[in-house]
């Protein structure tokens, strides 16, 4: 399997299982309806675990543009490969979101709350405040990328044995920091499925895709990843960073 296909499949698995657990909890008539936030955060953590151990040997399992950018800034990944990785991640996110829609299609028809339908595709803030929401995404992604940089020991990124720590890392972020914005911490995870929400027909109808908020889960994670990489470089060797 080549790295492009690895990132595509890994991100598709991430979104299928991650957004799948959201759909299981919030959509009407599912076995997991109203199971709560703990189930969602555990589901996302295990989604990361499955995605990473499945494709780590082929692509390093970045499965997140912010991770690819952070690794590149830190000198652990070639900049020339970043565009292809991001393209693969977005295609995988499209596929994963489509599969969630396919699996839960009867439950979309039963669900009257159109906000809940959108939640199975993309994140949204608990309290809508642009500055606070952006800061939450920056800090959450900083924690993710900063920790991943210490796990990224190979030229590709993560190894298969790093899958469980990364899954637990995302679980911790979700439990501790995710209550503000839903912790997108991944531009492809949010924007890809949000686009699919806009495109796909929705049984029982749907709302708009909240495009006014959509830039925050993209810009915030990129800023957070860049800061994490710079702090990592300073810790390794302060001479790596020049402020003049």
Q: Give the pLDDT confidence score for residue 244 in this predicted structure.
A: 38
Q: Give the pLDDT confidence score for residue 133 in this predicted structure.
A: 98
Q: What is the pTM of this model?
A: 0.94
CB atoms within 10 A of CB 103: 14
Q: Give the pLDDT confidence score for residue 153 in this predicted structure.
A: 54
Q: What does the alpha-carbon distance between residue 139 and residue 55 come to, in Å, rounded to a whole number?
A: 27
Measured in degrees and rounded to the nearest 5, phi and psi for residue 169 equal -60, -50
Q: Give the pLDDT confidence score for residue 164 in this predicted structure.
A: 87
Q: What does the alpha-carbon distance between residue 116 and residue 207 come to, in Å, rounded to a whole number?
A: 10
Question: Would you say 70 and 226 are in contact if contact means Cβ atoms under 8 Å apart?
Answer: yes
Report CA-CA distances (Å) from 196 to 72, 92, 94, 127, 188: 28, 12, 6, 24, 12
Q: Give the pLDDT confidence score for residue 39 in this predicted structure.
A: 98
**Nearest alpha-carbon partner for 175 in 148, 142, 140:** 140
Q: What does the alpha-carbon distance between residue 72 and residue 66 come to, in Å, rounded to a whole number?
A: 10
Write out 117-161 in H/E/C secondary structure.
Answer: HHHCCCCCCCCCCHHHHHHHHHHHHHHHHHHHHHHCCCCCCCCHH
Q: Give the pLDDT confidence score for residue 241 in this predicted structure.
A: 55
**Nearest alpha-carbon partner for 146 in 229, 60, 42:** 229
Q: Give the pLDDT confidence score for residue 64 in this predicted structure.
A: 97
Q: Give the pLDDT confidence score for residue 158 in this predicted structure.
A: 54
Domains and CATH numbers, the chain: 3-234 (1.20.1080.10)
pLDDT along the chain (244 residues), means of 10: 94 98 98 97 97 92 96 94 98 98 97 98 98 98 95 54 86 98 98 98 96 98 97 81 47
């Amino acid at each position: 399997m080549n790295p492009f296909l690895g990132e595509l499949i890994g991100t598709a698995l991430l979104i299928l299982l991650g957004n799948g657990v959201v759909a299981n909890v919030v959509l009407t008539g599912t076995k997991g309806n109203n199971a709560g936030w703990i189930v969602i955060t555990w589901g996302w953590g295990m989604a990361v675990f499955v995605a990473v151990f499945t494709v780590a040997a082929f692509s390093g399992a970045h499965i997140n543009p912010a991770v690819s950018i952070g690794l590149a800034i830190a000198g652990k990944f070639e900049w020339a490969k970043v565009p292809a990785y991001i393209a693969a991640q977005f295609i995988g996110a499209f596929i994963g979101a489509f599969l969630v829609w396919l699996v839960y299609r009867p439950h979309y028809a039963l669900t009257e709350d159109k906000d809940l339908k959108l939640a199975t595709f993309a994140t949204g803030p608990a309290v809508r405040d642009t500055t606070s929401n952006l800061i939450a995404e920056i800090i959450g992604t900083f924690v993710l990328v900063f920790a991943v940089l210490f796990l990224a020991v190979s030229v590709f990124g993560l190894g298969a044995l790093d899958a469980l720590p990364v899954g637990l890392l995302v679980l911790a972020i979700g439990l501790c920091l995710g209550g503000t914005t839903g912790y997108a911490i991944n531009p492809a995870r949010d924007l890809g499925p949000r686009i699919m929400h806009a495109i796909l027909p929705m049984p029982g109808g749907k709302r708009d895709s909240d495009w006014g908020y959509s830039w925050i889960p993209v810009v915030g994670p990129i800023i957070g990843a860049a800061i994490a990489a710079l702090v990592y470089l300073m810790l390794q060797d302060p001479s790596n960073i020049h402020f003049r």
